[in-house]
Structure 1
Amino acid sequence: MAKEEFMHLQHSESVVAQMAATIFSGLIQKQELGAANEDALVEKSVAIAIKLAKRTDELVKSDEEWVKKESGSSFLAG
């Protein structure tokens, strides 16, 4: 029986993991996956996913990043 793994990912972590899985899928369509390159491809996929997420966070402000001041006017936090 295989060892069971339990994880509790935060929403942002699960989004990045999903992005990494999509990137990984694309990478293995271009090159063969084997024991020798699996870890490198996983690392590359995660690094690209994180880079995409960070760049998106820089450029896109979510609804939660808009805060209402006591005066009633809105401003962009950060």
Structure 2
Amino acid sequence: NGHVLVKGIKVKVVGIVNMNAISIDVTNIDDIEKGEEVVLIGTQKNKSVSVVSFSELSNQMNYEMLTRLPKDIPRVIVE
């Protein structure tokens, strides 16, 4: 299963990607609120998620996943 980060905690992606949306299980996170930042690819509070998490779900190559990310998903370039 794929994972994302919420409040620095890895949470599971449940179901499938549909219409550029995913469902995640935040059952075990206290004080979760609507609008909480979710990191799909990157680092949050010293935890990281790579594109591999999503490419394994869809049986696609990492590069293919990155090139298909919609334009409306913000990108932050880090060095």
Which TM bucket (shorter chain)? Answer: under 0.3
TM-score normalized with structure 2 length: 0.21
TM-score normalized with structure 1 length: 0.21
Structure with greater helix share of residues? 1
In our comparison, the structure showing a higher alpha carbon Rg is 1
Structure with greater strand share of residues? 2
